[in-house]
């Protein structure tokens, strides 16, 4: 298992047992998620890694956005009112603007800041390349391959776009840029396996949502994950319900990185700092995703 831990570097690279802070969509409690201001603030607040959620534009460019559609975090409904797709749900009609219907140039006309706070009006959705340029040398990158199966239906291979981008930036090998470690993550085992098939040797975290614990967090499931990934990223409630999963994963050399810790919902703890303390130092997780990097409880 010592060898596996070594393979899981750079999580361990800055000292054995050092807890790792991942800024979830940037410092997203304080700035609009997945924008350069949120990424820059995360770095100022001491993040080891900055997370980006990845989507694909109509012209095949990776951009940073959590949702597969644009309406929650931009003014797309005002700028492109006629470009909605309608969906029926529970007797009501919903209008949605999928990322994949818009080119990068169109997407970068949108305001991705003022929904969060008027101070951020004019903030744009960054391409992944723009995010890399802003973060590189200052923190690690922790990209999530979102909805690869959806993009496949539109003729895009998200894994190939991620791999090409990593290669172009010379970030595709473990340790390629010691100041910019890279860890990949996805809820899709297939996506991570495809990255391996492309030759990617970077650390990878298999995300596990509620409802999937019987598939992935059993001893058999964890052994299967170990065949293609270096760690698990479970919903934090799964760790709280079943704290033994930390030891089971560690036994196999897998890192444990739960999501998501946020001041907006500290889940019964007095605050998000106390909640993070509990998971890091009592339950023994290695790292976590938080909207509040400034509240991360460092020890030594
Ligand atoms: O990627 C870890 C965590 O961010 C997963 O949830 O929905 O915020 O991407 P989500
Ligand atoms: Ca994510």
Q: Give buried/exposed letters for 101-119 (b at 16+ CB in 10 A, else e).
A: bbebebbbebbbbebbeee
pLDDT over 90, % of the chain: 93
Best residue among 34, 184, 192, 207 to mutate for probing ligand 1's pocket (most ligand atoms within 8 Å of CB) is 207
pLDDT, one tens digit per residue, over 267-299 is: 999 999 999 999 999 999 999 999 999 999 999
Q: Is the peptide bond before 260 cis (omega within 30 degrees of 0)?
A: yes
Rounded distance from Cα 167 to ligand 1 centre (Å):
25
pLDDT at 181 over 60: yes
pLDDT at 194 over 70: yes
Q: Could you tell me the CA-to-CA distances from 185 to 15, 41, 82, 138, 208 in Å, in that order? A: 22, 22, 35, 20, 10
pTM over 0.85: yes
Q: Which range, of 3-17, 80-94, 184-198, averages the lowest pLDDT?
A: 3-17
Pocket flag, ligand 1, residue 233 (CB < 6 Å): yes
Cα–Cα distance, 132 to 198 (Å, whole number):
21
Average pLDDT, integer, range 186-204: 98
pLDDT at 15 over 60: no
pLDDT, one tens digit per residue, over 20-41 is: 999 999 999 999 999 999 999 9
pLDDT confidence of 14, banded at 50, 70, 90?
A: very low
Average pLDDT, integer, range 236-242: 98
Closest-CA residue, ligand 1 atom 3, reads: 259
Closest-CA residue, ligand 1 atom 5, reads: 259
Best residue among 22, 47, 144 to mutate for probing ligand 1's pocket (most ligand atoms within 8 Å of CB) is 144
Q: Which residue reads 């052994």 in tokens?
A: 223
pLDDT confidence of 300, banded at 50, 70, 90?
A: confident
Which residues on adjacent β-strands are paired with residue 98?
69
Pocket flag, ligand 1, residue 288 (CB < 6 Å): no
What is the atom index within ligand 1 of the atom nearest the CA of 233? 2
- pLDDT score of 89: 87
pLDDT at 11 over 60: no
End-to-end CA distance of the chain: 25
Average pLDDT, integer, range 200-220: 98
Which residues have beta carbons under 5 A from ligand 2 (an ion)? Answer: 53, 144
- pLDDT score of 6: 42
């Amino acid at each position: 298992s010592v060898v596996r831990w070594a393979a899981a570097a750079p999580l361990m690279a800055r000292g054995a047992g050092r807890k790792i802070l991942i800024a979830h969509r940037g410092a997203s409690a304080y700035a609009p998620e997945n924008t350069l201001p949120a990424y820059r603030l995360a770095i100022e607040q001491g993040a080891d890694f900055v997370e980006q959620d990845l989507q694909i534009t109509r012209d095949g460019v990776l951009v940073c956005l959590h949702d597969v559609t644009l309406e929650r975090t931009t003014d797309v409904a005002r700028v492109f009112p006629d470009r909605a797709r309608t969906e029926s749900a529970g007797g009501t009609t919903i209008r949605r603007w999928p990322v994949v219907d818009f080119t990068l140039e169109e997407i970068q006309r949108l305001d991705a800041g003022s929904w969060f706070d008027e101070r951020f009006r004019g903030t744009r959705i960054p391409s992944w390349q723009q995010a890399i340029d802003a973060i590189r040398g200052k923190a690690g990158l922790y990209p999530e391959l979102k909805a690869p199966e959806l993009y496949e239906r539109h003729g895009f291979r998200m894994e190939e776009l991620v791999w090409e981008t990593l290669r172009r930036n010379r970030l595709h090998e473990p340790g390629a840029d010691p100041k910019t470690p890279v860890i990949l993550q996805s809820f899709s085992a297939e996506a991570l396996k495809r990255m391996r098939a492309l030759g990617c040797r970077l650390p990878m975290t298999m995300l596990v949502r509620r409802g999937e614990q019987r598939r992935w967090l059993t001893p058999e499931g964890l052994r299967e994950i170990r065949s293609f990934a270096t760690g698990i990223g479970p919903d934090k409630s799964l760790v709280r319900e079943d704290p033994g999963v930390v030891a089971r994963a560690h036994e196999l050399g897998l890192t444990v990185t739960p999501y998501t810790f946020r001041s907006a919902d500290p889940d019964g703890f007095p605050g998000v700092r106390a909640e993070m303390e509990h998971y890091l130092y009592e339950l023994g997780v290695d790292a976590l995703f938080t909207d509040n990097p400034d509240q991360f409880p460092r020890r030594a």
